[in-house]
Amino acid sequence: VSMVLSRAVNLQVHGEAQHAIIPLVDMLNHTHVSRDACRVRYNDDVRAFELVASAPIDAGAEVRLCYGRKGNSELLAAYGFALAANECDEALVDVPFGVAGEPTMLSMQKL
């Protein structure tokens, strides 16, 4: 399943949420900065997928998609990579408190 999902994009087709594998689009890299990302949409009028830039793209610049705000554990599990500097990364820290012998896991996010 993750092999398919790592190549698929989520979009609306005929008003329904769909996963689609689109040739060449499945090769675009991730950016977590949405203003630098393109998005994929389905155009019912021309019956085609369109790649839409959120801002002008300079000649020779990389075209990227935003896979969503995901921590490295999710990126690694779903897409097979992790980012060296990921502002969405999080860590689980075992902090014992409450009843002895029953530690609670807390999720902490870097700010």
Tens of pLDDT along 64-90?
A: 988 888 899 888 888 888 888 888 887
pLDDT in tens, 22-41: 888 888 888 888 777 888 99
- Return the sign of the alpha-carbon dihedral for residues 11, 14, 16, 21: negative
| Pairwise CA distance, residues 47 & 76, whole Å | 34
Answer for the pair 78, 93: CB distance below 8 angstroms, yes or no: no
pTM of the model: 0.65
Element (H, E) at 16: strand 16-20
